[in-house]
């Protein structure tokens, strides 16, 4: 699984690395590999080398929509219970972190970073 695969493609040699990964099964007898790419940029496939795309079994992309503030707040509340002692993080702080992250991109990772900073 390659998270933020678009960053790999943008780097020099990234297409070559991905090409080699898609060809691994040719050299394996006892197991099989699959390549799953995750990207925030839906059009990253347009930048793939033709050798890479010919080796990919393209399915329809699965699109994960950005979280809204309420969804992010639920995630942050769960994480705050695990990460912090009781009463370290106020509910208002959780809602603020969730709201800021929802406005920016709806990104749970960003919301968690904000929560971590608030807890420090």
At 17-69, the pLDDT tens digits run 999 998 888 888 888 888 888 888 888 888 888 888 888 776 677 888 899 99
23 with 47, same domain: the answer is yes
d(CA 28, CA 42): 31
The pLDDT value given to residue 74: 97
51 with 74, same domain: the answer is no
Alpha helices in 1-120 (DSSP H): 5-10, 14-22, 50-55, 69-83, 91-104, 108-119
45 with 89, same domain: the answer is no
44 with 73, same domain: the answer is no
Whether residue 82 is contained in a domain is answered as yes
Residues with Cβ within 8 Å of residue 52, at least 6 apart in sequence: 15, 18, 19, 22
For residues 70-86, give the mean pLDDT: 95
The pLDDT value given to residue 73: 98
Our count of domains for the chain comes to 2
Question: What residues make up the domain containing 44?
Answer: 2-55
The pLDDT value given to residue 62: 84
Q: Count CB neighbours of 81 within 10 A.
A: 10
Query: Do 104 and 66 touch, CB atoms closer than 8 A?
Result: no
The pLDDT value given to residue 66: 92
């Amino acid at each position: 699984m390659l998270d933020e695969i678009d960053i790999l493609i943008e780097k020099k040699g990234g297409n070559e690395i991905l090409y080699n990964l898609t060809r691994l099964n040719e050299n394996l007898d006892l197991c099989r590999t699959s390549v799953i790419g995750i990207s925030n940029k839906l059009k990253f496939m347009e930048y793939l080398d033709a050798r890479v795309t010919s080796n990919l079994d393209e399915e329809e992309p699965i699109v994960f929509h950005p979280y809204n503030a309420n969804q992010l707040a639920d995630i942050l509340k769960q994480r705050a219970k695990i990460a912090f002692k009781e009463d370290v993080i106020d509910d208002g702080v959780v809602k603020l972190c969730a709201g800021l992250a929802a406005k920016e991109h709806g990104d749970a990772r960003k919301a968690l970073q904000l929560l971590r900073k608030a807890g420090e």
